[in-house]
Structure 1
Amino acid sequence: MSSKQATLDPTDLWGLALGAVLFEMNGYDAANNYEIEPTEENLEAIRRSLKRGWGIESTEDLMDNLRWLQEEGHRTSFYEMRSFLSTLSMADQSAFLETLPKNTEKHMQYILVKAYMHKLPLAGIAAWDFGRYVDLCRMGAFVGYISEETSWELIRKVAVVAQESYSGWLEYGISYVAGRQFWLGTISEEKAKQHTDYVRSLVLNKDSLWRRLDWNLKLVDEEEAEEAAEAEEVEAEAVETVVVEKEELEAEAMETVVAETVEVQTEAVESEIAQAEPAEVTAKDAETEHIEVATEEAETETRQK
């Protein structure tokens, strides 16, 4: 991560703060906005980490993982389990848990979902996906898989979604911890306390990004948002126009082909008829000539008799 972070504006700092728990856990310094010294040793360490943890070795790999976090993530499985359990009574939920193999990842995840399903907002553990998304964006830029500019553009987009999904940093932090537990698939009081301590520090420490930045900070300029929406609408209309024009051209081309085909077929039929008529006439003439000859022969024969 570059020295650009020292001069980040509040909106980019807000987006960076979504990954604060993970940055803190990895020992990055909040005093300089979690910037990493760009040494060869650090570069190699981050590359190894991305490869080992995510299978990322290229820009394409990075973007694939970012798309997964943005569109699905671990929250999808959490949603599905929560939706299923919500259809059951408390007694039936407990009975269902008893049917699962004990101490397996699935069993532990269902226990966690049951424990958190009424304590988290509708977004569930999406905070866990958002935090990791921001971390990947920054690590990807650090090793050169994407540019700094691209990294911040991606973070700004997910920041808007995150802000709409939670009511504040504390709720976001609790959801993040729940998501990490769900991802681990284990129930450990020690690890839960460790993660909760990071959240507590971010909420209470006056120097943390969470304390310095209002959750409801205006992330998108209304005028810019309207312009962006209008631009998207214009682009959509342009695409629709192109599609319609293409369909019309294809229809015209098809009509032309059909017309030409009919014309060719008509000409072929007329040609066949034209070729067939002389033959028929010749046959009739030959038949008439044969009759006339036969008549003359009969008359001659009669005269001879």
Structure 2
Amino acid sequence: MAIWRKWSRPKTESKYPARLTMHQLWMVSLSAPVSRDKDASRTTLYPFTRIDDAKAERWLAEQWEITTPEQLIGRLGRLARFGYRAQFQRVLGFAPLAWDVGLYVDISRRGFACGMLTEVDTWRLLKDIVPAVAGTYGSWNEYADHYLQGRQVWRNNLRGTRDENFPAPQSASDEHLKALLDPANRTSPWNLAPWEAISNPDRPRPGR
């Protein structure tokens, strides 16, 4: 029954048919490392391939204790200003901005999905972090490397806590990033929106 309900939900494109521009896809793609779920959408602002607003709301409440728009904006503000990277810098010797940005974009998209953010406000929030990201990294490879190293520190910090077994093995994240970076992967958003796209004038993407 649960499987039937899942596949009976409308596809995301039926509710949001407009294709993202190159700049929009680039911004959405900043969260591509975060979700490895099969139902994750990496080419729409909405985070899932099928409409499931309740799933986004549950995830924000359970994983981040976010239940109101005010809490959402507060969390995004902290991730944008300092996040985890200041703490991780003491371990890594550098601040892994990509880790905080991946979480920032993922939370923003889920906030949009459950109605805590409007579409206009979500795009504004994503645009706000572009200068820092584009000024820090020169490729998706560099972005992926900092994300993975940030994730490793995060996992290590969970040792000895009740959440120790919560995250997937680092190898799962490694394989996911490897697939995203594979130039032969025609579905990877990082190939559909190359890193340099954000520095060029925005343009519509080719049709399906």
From 194, 197, 200, the equivalent of 1:214 is 194
Distance in 1, Cα, partners of 2:100 & 2:59: 18
1:150-229 superposed matches below 5 A:
150-185=121-156, 191-204=169-182, 205-219=185-199
- Report what 1:14 is aligned to: 26
Residue 194 of structure 1 aligns to which amino acid in structure 2?
Answer: A
Query: Which residue does the alignment assign to 1:43?
Result: 53
- Counterpart pick for 1:63 among 67, 73, 78: 73
How many residue pairs were aligned? 179
| Number of the residue aligned with 2:9 | none
Structure 1 gaps, min length 5: 82-109, 222-305
What's the CA shift for 1:49?
A: 1.2
Q: 1:183–1:127: structure 2 CA closer, same or farther, 3 Å change rule?
A: same
Cα deviation per residue 1:269-288 (whole Å; 9 max; x = unaligned)? xxxxxxxxxxxxxxxxxxxx
Q: RMSD between aligned alpha carbons? A: 2.6
Residues 1:70 and 1:8: Cα distance change in structure 2 (over 3 Å):
same
- SS in structure 1 at match of 2:187: coil
1:76 to 54, 65, 86: 86
Contact (CA 8 Å) 1:160, 1:219: kept in 2 or not?
A: no
2:100 corresponds, among 120, 126, 129, to 129
State the Cα deviation string for residues 129-175 of structure 1 (Å, max 9, x = none). 00110011110011011101100111112123211111210111111
- The structure with the larger Rg is 1
Contact between 2:141 and 2:181, CA under 8 Å: does it hold in 1? yes
More helix by share: 1
Q: Is the alpha carbon distance of 1:71 and 1:220 closer, same or farther for their aligned partners in structure 2, counting shifts above 3 Å? A: farther
Gaps of 5+ in 2: 1-11, 160-164, 202-208
CA drift of 1:75 comes to: 0.1
1:61 and 1:175 map into 2 onto residues whose CA distance is 27
Matched residue SS, 2:135: helix
Match of 2:40 in 1: 28
Query: What's the % identity of the aligned pairs?
Result: 25
- TM-score of the pair, normalised by structure 1: 0.53
Q: Under a length normalisation based on structure 2, what TM-score does the superposition of the two structures give?
A: 0.76
- How far apart in 1 are the matches of 2:34 and 2:170? 14
Return the match for 1:145 from 116, 126, 137.
116
